[in-house]
Structure 1
């Protein structure tokens, strides 16, 4: 994935999406915000997938430059920054929920299989659930508060 801010290779809709949010790490950062409420560099660094510090810094800067993330100083600790999704970033939530549904169907070991009620709601009312999740995240919330979406320290999704 290109992180330099140079020209997009083509404006095919699929290519544009892949170049902006299609790499593994960008989607996992967005996942961490939406599903686990992570907001800081240190919190993202602790994710089970083990992102390297230089890759994390690069992806956060790229997502901010693309208007997906907004970085603001922590009101409590000026040494920390908080990352939140912009409206453009919130518009990725339906895609994230579709990935969750697809994975629940095709990955026999998916953590999300234990969230049967959640999966059923997404399947039956995808637009409604997407809008609810957008509102929740927009207001500083996230899908699995208090670790209820984690199993053995791993994300339910």
Structure 2
């Protein structure tokens, strides 16, 4: 619900809506539906959550204790350097944002005892991010 509210606010505020509109200009070669139905759940969420929350977090918890979520979060942020470069996104903000997300995912995994909860949050954030440019174009068209 928090993710949905965040996207709703971003779409409602014109200065924030500009961000997904800029992303809309860089349309991928695949459809939004394909991204949401296949690439995000399987290629991103399943793969990353299996690696980070399913494997790395438990290993780090056994060896690094309380610092495990922070270490995993930094690793998760650094993991996104190449995708940021490939998308021609600014690397530092991408790494910082994904490090923060990784920290939330790792804490959620630790508290829930499962990788399912962070995977569902990860899916909601990424699918929302894929839908935001489409929604921003629709909202922007209605407000003009």
TM-score (norm 2): 0.30
Q: Kindly indicate whether structure 1 or structure 2 has the higher relative contact order, using CA contacts under 8 Å at least 6 residues apart.
A: 2
Point out the structure with the larger helix share.
2
